[in-house]
Amino acid sequence: MHYFAGMEKPRLDKYLWSIRLFKTRTQATEAIDSGKVKMNGAAVKPSRSVSLGDQYQIKTPAGRKTIEVTGLLHNRVGYEEAIKNYVDITPEEDKIAPQAMAPSFYTGKRLSKTGHPTKKQRRDLEDFLSDMGD
């Protein structure tokens, strides 16, 4: 098991990363520093120790979550193991809103058939233009 046994409690940024709410520990730290993670409505610091029973309100690109800590992790674990260490107590109105926004959420990937042509498309275009000149 990856639980703390006689070790000190994990930092908040490391805990949020280990339960897979953020992809990197740096993203977790930046979210905490920018006020997107709160404990009982108050801003917290990345170095704050996490204790059993703590409740956090978290804003992520995927939406808002409210979690209660039920287990302490030392390292990042798989999703199936991670979800056993917190309880999602997000209110229903916060769960519904992200679903409506999901299609318009920007993923960072370019849209299909936009931007520069692919190599094949460029060759086809060059062939077409050279045929017109003959």
Task: Kindly report the pTM of this predicted structure.
Answer: 0.67
The pLDDT, as a whole number, for residue 97 is 58
The pLDDT, as a whole number, for residue 98 is 54
Write out pLDDT tens, residues 36-68. 999 988 999 999 999 999 999 999 877 889 999
Residues with Cβ within 8 Å of 18's Cβ and at least 6 positions away in sequence, in order, are 10, 73, 74, 75, 76, 77, 82
Query: pLDDT at residue 83 above 60?
Result: yes
As beta bridge partners, residue 66 has 57
Q: Are strands 63-69 and 55-60 parallel, antiparallel or unpaired?
A: antiparallel
Residues with Cβ within 8 Å of 97's Cβ and at least 6 positions away in sequence, in order, are 63, 64
Write out pLDDT tens, residues 87-115. 999 888 777 755 555 555 555 565 666 77
**Residue whose pair of structure tokens reads 């897979």 in the numeric block:** 20
Q: Name the least confident of 38-42, 80-84, 106-110, 123-127.
A: 106-110
CA distance 91 to 67: 10
Asked if 57 and 66 count as a contact pair (C-beta separation under 8 A), the reply is: yes
Q: Which of 74, 72, 43, 38 is nearest to 55 (CA)?
A: 38
CATH of domain 12-133: 3.10.290.10
The pLDDT, as a whole number, for residue 100 is 54
Mean pLDDT, the chain, rounded, equals: 83
The pLDDT, as a whole number, for residue 1 is 47
CA distance 72 to 118: 48
